[in-house]
Amino acid sequence: MRETGSTSELVLALRRRSTGLRLAASCVCSLLFFGVSPRPLWAASQLEVQIDGTVIPFSIGDLAKWARSDGRHRSELSTWFSLLEPESRAGVLELLQAPVILDRSMARQLLNSWAGRQLLDQVSDLVRVDDDTEGVIVRQTINELLTRQQQVSSLDLLEALPAESVRLDLDLLLELASSWRIQLERQQNLVRRLDRFPVTASASDRFGASSQDFDPLLEPRLMSLAVSHREEPLEFQLWLPVEGAPKREQWLVLMPGLGGSPDHFRWLGRGLSRRGWAVLVPDHPGSDDEAVQALLEGRLPPPGAEVLPERLQDLDALLKARDQGVFRVPGERLVLAGHSLGAFSALLSTGARPAPGLARRCSSALGDLPLSNLSRLLQCQLVDVSLPQQVAPPALSAVIGFNSFGSLLWPADSLSKTVNVPVLFTGGTLDLITPPISEQLGLLLAMPADPSSRVVLVEGASHFSPVRVEGQRQGGQGEDLFQLGEDLVGVQPLQVQALLEQEVVQFLEEQEQRKGAQRFKAKTLHLKLGELHLHRLDREAASALVHQ
């Protein structure tokens, strides 16, 4: 590789790649803000930038002077920054000066978690600190800084790194940026293809809200069960059918997602109990809202896939206790349901095991830095997690997954002989945690070709649209730990929840009406409700969208 430090050669090199550099600068700024790693870009003495096979050295001293003078200090480095767009230049200044770690307790827990280590390992391919290939030096330096100060800025980190040089590989970063752009374009193309479907049904706003009318007298039973695998009793909410509701053959276990609470799904428990279904919603200690609180307070690392064995044991204990009459729940046939990690748990509970080659698939997925599909981190952690052998409950009749995931574990057709029940997967086009194009649609194609299986996608819905926060109906944030805003929840969350409830009800009623091996065929539907578009897709329609 040719090295040069002259301003003229630098300007020529950067002009050849002005478009690419603007893209790279944007990606670097994004990396700086990513939660588990404050992005070490320059070393204490020298930064080397590699682009087009050329390595260009910069002085960390010049960088510090430029940043602390608000860009007024003149040097060769300021010439480089002058080539950036004014907004990008201002953004770099802000990112260098502002604290990227605001709370040292939580930051330590994040950095020392499995996910944090994986991301630092991958970032180390982009930003090489001497010969540190796993981000160890960066992690140690951050921890040392946090023993002395509450907040850490990018400059603090760069000046503290015990290294002679740091090399930023913009060539590799541009490759990653291209990969991320392709993934986002797939999501955008999905929305465009969905918009081409003609509307086959419409509904008034009243349709979307009528089933969600608040009934203060309808509350769940709060119960607990002593279990051998936990020190404290396992708590759960039990929604029993209201008096006069239709008698149903099915009953549901609904498992919240990572950091979720049974209270987040009172809307669905209430709606289904009014229609005659019993719904049991467990609290999973260690991966519930209290676990998130412990992370925010810096007491515990973020929960990950290591919680799955205990979650599966929770479900097994509840089903066994119900069968033994420890508590009574009407219904003979079981439906496993869940949100996000809860949906993933439901799929694992059917006896589905990861398809061979998970480590190989994860090596490729993590190499692209999974910023556009964070569920990949949880899926890949299973390489290091020993799951108990699961056998599908004998009374299992269906699976329902809100914002489910599992595409790395189960590629297309890999579960064709394992999951022998119909499935309903739901997702939203604003979901970047479990993108529907790879996760919900991909999962349906991994399942057996059951005619009543389906995917329901809602344009404008996000990963957190099914989560109801207390106070949401009155327009306030409520007291919930999540404190979700519109940027996370998506548009019209109450309407989304009402539509999802209707789809769940129809799916369950179809399963109740089947006789013997007869299965109802999922009917495609393209519904418009205000700003929302709901699309119900069978396997054939899902396959067409994925492979277009």
DSSP element (H, E) containing 339: strand 333-339
Residue-wise pLDDT tens for the chain (548 aa)? Answer: 333 343 343 334 334 333 333 334 333 333 333 333 333 333 346 777 676 677 777 777 787 788 888 888 887 777 777 777 787 677 677 766 766 565 555 566 566 666 666 666 666 666 677 766 666 777 777 777 777 877 777 677 777 777 777 776 667 666 766 776 777 788 888 888 998 888 988 765 445 444 444 565 689 999 999 999 999 999 999 999 999 999 999 999 999 999 899 999 999 999 999 999 999 999 999 988 887 777 666 777 778 899 999 999 999 999 999 999 999 999 999 999 999 999 999 999 999 999 999 999 998 888 766 666 788 889 999 999 999 889 999 999 999 999 999 999 999 888 888 888 999 999 999 888 899 999 999 999 999 989 999 999 999 899 999 998 765 444 334 444 445 555 567 778 889 999 999 999 999 999 988 766 667 788 899 998 888 899 999 999 999 998 87
Statement to judge: residues 228 and 131 lie in one domain: no
Answer whether residue 189 is part of any domain. no
**Helix 341-348 to helix 308-323 angle, to the nearest 10 degrees?**
60
Please indicate, yes or no, if residue 481 is contained in any of the structural domains. no
Q: Please indicate, yes or no, whether residues 290 and 419 belong to a single structural domain of this protein.
A: yes
Same domain, 253 and 334: yes
Number of domains in the chain: 2
- Tokens coding 246: 């239709």
End residue of a domain, out of 420, 448, 476: 448
Name the residue type at position 449. Answer: A
* Domain containing residue 255: 197-448
pLDDT computed for residue 234 by the predictor? 97
Domain assignment of residue 534, yes or no? no
Question: Cα–Cα distance between 266 and 509 in angstroms, integer?
Answer: 20
pLDDT value, residue 135: 65
Answer yes or no: is 375 within a domain.
yes
Q: Write down how long the chain is.
A: 548
pLDDT of residue 374: 81
Same domain, residue pair 164 and 217: no
What is the structure's pLDDT at 29? Answer: 35
Q: Please, where are the H alpha helices in 275-339? A: 289-296, 308-323
Tell me the helices (H) and strands (E) count for the chain, helix number first: 21, 18
Tokens at 81, concatenated: 């920054």
For residue range 273-330, what is the model confidence (pLDDT) as tens digits? 999 999 999 999 998 888 777 766 677 777 889 999 999 999 999 999 999 999 999 9
Same domain, 261 and 174: no
Pairing verdict, β 333-339 and 278-282: unpaired
Neighbours of 238 (CB within 10 A): 21
Question: Do 170 and 208 reside in the same domain of the chain?
Answer: no
Q: Is 300 helix (H, G, I), strand (E, B) or coil?
A: coil
434-468: pLDDT as tens digits: 999 999 999 999 999 899 999 999 998 999 999 98
| 3-state SS assignment for residue 208 | helix
Tell me: do 165 and 131 sit in the same domain. Answer: yes
Structure tokens at 396: 């299992």
Cβ–Cβ under 8 Å, residues 65 and 27: no
Question: Are residues 213 and 358 both part of a single domain?
Answer: yes
Which pLDDT value is given to residue 12? 40
User: Of 145, 178, 211, which residue constitutes the final position of a domain?
Assistant: 178
Same domain, 146 and 213: no
Residue that has been written with the tokens 């994925």 in this structure: 546
Question: E strands within 179-277?
Answer: 201-202, 221-225, 234-239, 250-255
* 174 and 203 share one domain: no
- For residue 133, the model assigns a pLDDT of 60
Query: Is 458 within a domain?
Result: no
Instruction: Establish if 468 belongs to a structural domain.
Output: no
Burial class (CB within 10 angstroms; exposed 0-12, middle 13-18, buried 19+) of 1: exposed
Same domain for 207 and 168: no
* CB 111, CB 151: distance < 8 Å: no
Residue 188 within any structural domain of the chain = no
Task: Give the single-character DSSP code of 477.
Answer: -
Distance between CA atoms of 494 and 395, rounded to whole angstroms?
32
Residue 459's DSSP bridge partners are 533
Helices marked H in 149-204 — which ranges?
154-160, 170-195
Q: Given 406, 426, 448, which residue is the final one in a domain? A: 448
- The whole-number pLDDT of residue 186 equals 81
The rounded distance, in Å, linking the Cα atoms of 448 and 422 is: 8
What CATH number should be reported for the domain holding residue 282?
A: 3.40.50
Q: What is the pLDDT of residue 178?
A: 72
| 259 and 386 together in one domain | yes
Token pair recorded at residue 8:
């003229």
Q: Say if 529 falls within a structural domain.
A: no
- Rg over alpha carbons for the chain, rounded to the nearest Å, is 26
DSSP string covering 59-85? EHHHHHHHHHTTT---SHHHHHHHTS-
